[in-house]
Every structure is written in C-alpha cells, then in structure tokens.
Amino acid sequence: MTQQTWTVPGPLARLLALLPSFPPAWLMAQALNAALAPLLPPELLATLAGRRLRLRVTDAGVHADFTVAGGRIQALGSRGAPDVSIAASAWDFLQLARRAEDPDALFFARRLVIEGDTELGLRLKNALDALDLPPLELSLPPSPRAVVRAVVRLRGESPTGRADPGV
C-alpha cells in the first residue's frame, strides 16, 4: 500500500465545494456509461436501479450523486440522502483507478469509507474490483516546449524554422 503523497489544497477545496455538483456528476456519468456500464453484470445494474449512489472526494469537498435507470448510469442533483456513499481522497480514488491500491486494503485502513447501505456498497465495490480492467495510466502533461518540438517535427521543420532535410 502506498502512502498518500498529495491532497487537494485547502483553498481549491473550498472553491470546489461552492460549485454545483450536477455538471461534474453528469460528465462522470457519461464517462462511466462509455467505459464501465457495458462491463457491469446486468444483475448488479438491476440492483442499483433506482438507488441513490454518492461518490465523495473528501479532500476536494465535492461529491456526485448517481442512479441507474434503463441499464444506464444517470447523474442526479445533490438533493436527497444517498442510499450508499463511497468516500475517499482524490489521491486514493486515483490510486484505485490506476490499480495501484487494493480496495480492501484502503477499506480496512479506513481510507475508503462506505456509509449507508454498506451491503450495497460492498457489492458495488466487489463487482468493480472483479472487472478485468486495465490500469488507468496517467502522466503529467507535456511541457509547452515539448509540444512545440512535436509540432515542429510533424511539420517536417527543424527547430530553426527551416525545412528539415532529413525528412
């Protein structure tokens, strides 16, 4: 298990907490429908139908509410109590997506918290953990200088702006 190396800075978390939750929840629902929903067992989707699920990023002060309807994940506004809430820091959610952390280890270390209908939360966690997904690979964005070099190479120019004779 890796140690947490960063958290969302307090001033940013306070700003994020002021924003409405529906637009990010809607974007996340679209991504989940494209990448994850087709892989989920139909019986799990049926179990989640009509239930309010909340993902909460503890250090960012944000949350997103979802339900399942018609076999698709749909965003909800943040009115109403969730049936189950799954909370972790941004770092821990990132580590889970990268498959760099074991969800059970985070759960028993109280870094992944399931509240409300814990049986439903554990079924969801176990179903997601059982999926054979590739780890999410993220890297830092390239520096502006690296982007310029790549564009120059694609155009067949040398860094001086003249045509590259080697192309």
pLDDT of the residue at 167: 44
Quick one: which of 143, 139, 105 has its CA closest to 125? 105
The pTM (predicted TM-score) of the whole model is 0.74
5 in a domain, yes or no?
Answer: no
Question: In total, how many domains does the chain have?
Answer: 2
Residue 53 belongs to domain with CATH number: 3.30.1050.10
pLDDT of the residue at 155: 65
Amino acid letter, residue 110: R
44 in a domain, yes or no?
Answer: yes
The three-state secondary structure class of 145 is helix
Q: Look up the domain containing 92 and give its range.
A: 10-136
pLDDT of the residue at 81: 93
- Residues 38 and 71 occupy one common structural domain: yes
Strands 62-69 and 72-76: antiparallel
- Residues 77 and 21 occupy one common structural domain: yes
- Residues 102 and 157 occupy one common structural domain: no
Q: What tens-digit pLDDT sequence spans the chain (167 residues)? A: 556 578 888 888 888 888 888 888 998 899 888 888 888 889 999 999 999 999 999 999 899 999 999 999 999 987 889 999 999 999 998 888 888 889 999 999 999 999 999 999 988 888 888 877 666 665 555 566 666 676 666 666 655 555 545 44
Spatial distance between the Cα atoms of 41 and 136, rounded to a whole number of angstroms? 21
